Structure 1
Amino acid sequence: MLSIQSTERLTGGRISGDYWDLDELIKNIYEVIGDENNYYDYRGARQRILGVCLQLRKATQGECNIEFVANGIHKGIEKKKDTLAPEKNVYFSVEILYPELIFTALALNDFIDLYNEFIDNNPWNPHTTSIRKFQSLVTECLKEHLPEEHYNVFIHLMLSKSPKYFRYATQYVDILNLEYLKLTFEERKKHLGAFAIRLMVEDDEYLALKDQILATANITKHEIHELPLQMKYPEYIEW
């Protein structure tokens, strides 16, 4: 069963599940976001989502964390069925920084709306329902740590009309990731909600960054999402 839990120092969310849980989520995301020729003005958001999918795929290949989770088998069942069976299943997990994880959950709303408009608007579509489950797990994590009023604002903004990430300057997610990493555990508990909301409102800092990127893009003739910031993530992250 897919699950997401906050890491010990509230650095991010730990996504875990067996191989098929993670593989199913990856494939459903691929289906909904479409290939690189679809939804041209959402390429930046698409690339960030694919970055998270890459981490999930690495997890299924055993490159991240491996856990052993009780599966309900016990001696009574083995005796009743006259069989031997493993009592634990192998689960894979990977940590994703909270701003990155929140952005992924939010940006998928835009792609679900696009998928519903152009591909399939069946509310019971297995691809979109799988992603909704992922989003609900992210919001449940936040609910554990946000004051009720902050959580209610977050949910209200999350459910507000899309699109939120049309031609979005996704470099802002890197800025928030690095800002968040510099916080202490106590500061993360206090400001996590503010980081979540900053990903949904175009504040002065975001608008200044986008203006700067657009000015550079006009000179270099690159797309907005193709211009990396001169930023470096730490080699080691204490989760």
Structure 2
Amino acid sequence: MLIILSQSFLVWQLILSVLILGRKYRANQIFGCLLVTVGVILAVASGANSGPFLSDVKLFWPAVLMASSACHAGASIIKEFVFIDGAKRLKGKRPDIFVVNSFGSGFQALFVFLLLPFLSNLKGIPLAELPAYINRGAACFLNIGGNLKDCHGAPLLPLLFIAMNMAFNISILNLVKMSTALVASLTATLAVPLSIYVLSLPLPYIPCGTNLSTSFLVGAAILVLGLLLYNLPQKSVRRTKTD
């Protein structure tokens, strides 16, 4: 359900790119985004339990999650604006992705640090116990010390996760630089059915494989169709006027 509700991110990106960047979208692009959203919902919902979704959750919290997606969408649109505005100021040369990413990551780390007392209290960890909690987490990450039964694969798996996460984020940011934030998000959405497929395989540390349902395959196909529809080539306006 988190993945399904997070697809409101695409809707926010469409709205904010129109408001901030003044971009206009063709009908096939809007319909392609809707197909991508439908595909993700079908792919994810195919593995859900038979019970009703969010049966024990008030509608307020899903609404908060969908509204908070606007912040993430706004950040991606602002990064796209930085690349466009930087190209104008640098005479056609766009800003380096590592510079843009470093500023974004730096401010993200700063605000996480400032909100750490509030977040720890929200998780039921008193502020006085926070240093000990961080020390236990570091010991688990490095796989040192005793009583680490839940730290299987450390430190190799955490380091692999960090490396893959960095490579993924750099690739997405480079795609934003070359195209648009919406194209990058649509491309990243393709990772949803791919990750579900990979996790269905009997992998090391994840030995329980599973069979994928027909609705998952249909959802993945609709998602890819939406991506293709969004990226349909269009005739050049100048060429049309010349003809």
TM-score by length of 1: 0.24
The answer to which structure, 1 or 2, has the higher relative contact order (CA under 8 A, 6+ apart) is 2
TM-score by length of 2: 0.24
Whichever structure has more strand as a proportion of its residues is 1
Larger Rg: 2
